Amino acid sequence: MDFSSKEKSLAVDFELDGFLKELDLALKQTVRDHEREINQMRLDNKVDEYRNSIEFIICKAKRILKNIED
C-alpha cells in the first residue's frame, strides 16, 4: 500500500467511525424516546384504571343512596 492509499484508508476509517458514532447516538435517542412513550402509555393506562375504579365506586354509591332515599 502506498502513502496515498494509506491516507484514503485512514480517511474512510475516520468517516466510518464518525458515521457509526452518529448512528449510535441516534439509536440511543430513539430508545430513550420510545421508553418515554412507553412510560407515558403505562401512566395513562394507570390513570384510566383509577378513573374507571372511581366511576364504579361513585355509581355504586349513587345506587346505595338511591335505595336509602326510596
Domains in the chain, number: 1
The pLDDT assigned to 16 comes to 93
The verdict on residue 2 lying in a domain is no
Asked if residue 41 is part of any domain, the answer here is: yes
Write out residues in the chain with pLDDT < 70, as ranges: 1-3
Predicted local distance difference test score (pLDDT) of residue 12: 85
Q: What is the pLDDT of residue 2?
A: 61
d(CA 29, CA 49): 30
Interior/surface letters 23-41, b for 16+ CB within 10 angstroms, e for the rest = eeeeeeeeeeeeeeeeeee
Q: Which domain holds residue 54?
A: 25-69
- Does 20 reside within a domain? no
Q: Where are the alpha helices (DSSP H) in 1-70?
A: 3-69
